[in-house]
Chains A and B, each alone.
Chain A
Amino acid sequence: EPEVTQTPSHQVTQMGQEVILRCVPISNHLYFYWYRQILGQKVEFLVSFYNNEISEKSEIFDDQFSVERPDGSNFTLKIRSTKLEDSAMYFCASIGLSTDTQYFGPGTRLTVL
């Protein structure tokens, strides 16, 4: 069964550094999402992406964040200058035209020191 994959599974970085989280959505899906879950808290929407542009973004998704689909398969989330409070699990999700369910990747745990 096709699945969403994410790399790396765990990323440790120093405050102020740039990080890029990578996702490979399910191949025929057209809508892509990033969500964030701070440890012990609920999963929060960050951004949705369709047709090579952002469809919607939350208040969390400020100028430090950007998303990109650099080729036909990858979907990336970049944090330009990480802060301690960016430490969280980041989930990528995708959905196709013929399904109403977002399928989530296994997540990338980001630790900012």
Chain B
Amino acid sequence: AQKVTQAQTEISVVEKEDVTLDCVYETRDTTYYLFWYKQPPSGELVFLIRRNSFDEQNEISGRYSWNFQKSTSSFNFTITASQVVDSAVYFCALRNRDDKIIFGKGTRLHILP
């Protein structure tokens, strides 16, 4: 079965705090891709990162960082020094060889001023 689980439905933190969004995936394939997308209130899906299954290196992009651990099938996303503009719904997603993307249910992040 292919599945993406985002156990945190909603998170609220105060601005400048760090926050980690959890993502756990299930797949039978050895080759797959993992993604994070941001959906601001305007509704569009903004691509944040892609990671393939052979690359377990963690990545940092500004205040964003991602921790990919195949041993635990997790691909967690951390925002450091959060800002109000980070408020959005964040989706973790999985793509196998058959190309379609399977999304998690999303985590709604509120950054409070």
Q: Which residues from chain A sit less than 8 Å from chain B, CB to CB?
A: 31, 33, 35, 41-45, 48, 55-56, 58, 89, 91, 93, 95, 100-107, 109
Contact = CB atoms under 8 A, between A and B. Distances in A.
B43 A107 contact: yes
Interface stretch (B21-29, B73-81, B102-110): B102-110
B100 A42 contact: no
23 contacts: A33-B100, A33-B101, A41-B105, A43-B45, A43-B91, A43-B101, A44-B103, A45-B102, A48-B99, A56-B100, A93-B101, A100-B33, A100-B50, A100-B95, A101-B47, A102-B95, A102-B101, A104-B37, A104-B45, A104-B47, A106-B44, A107-B43, A109-B43
Tell me what chain A mostly uses at the interface: helix, strand, loop, or mixed.
strand
Q: Give me the 8 closest cross-chain CB pairs, A-B, nearest first.
A: A104-B45, A45-B100, A43-B103, A106-B44, A42-B105, A42-B103, A101-B50, A107-B43
Given A31-B99, A42-B106, A48-B100, A103 B47 contact: yes
B91 to A, nearest CB: 6
B35 interface: yes
Contacts of A44: 103
A43 B100 CA distance: 11
Interface string B41-82: 001110100101000000000000000000000000000000
Contacts of B102: 45
A51 B98 CA distance: 15
A51 B52 CA distance: 25
A57 B103 CA distance: 16
A99 B51 CA distance: 12
Contacts of A43: 45, 91, 93, 101, 103
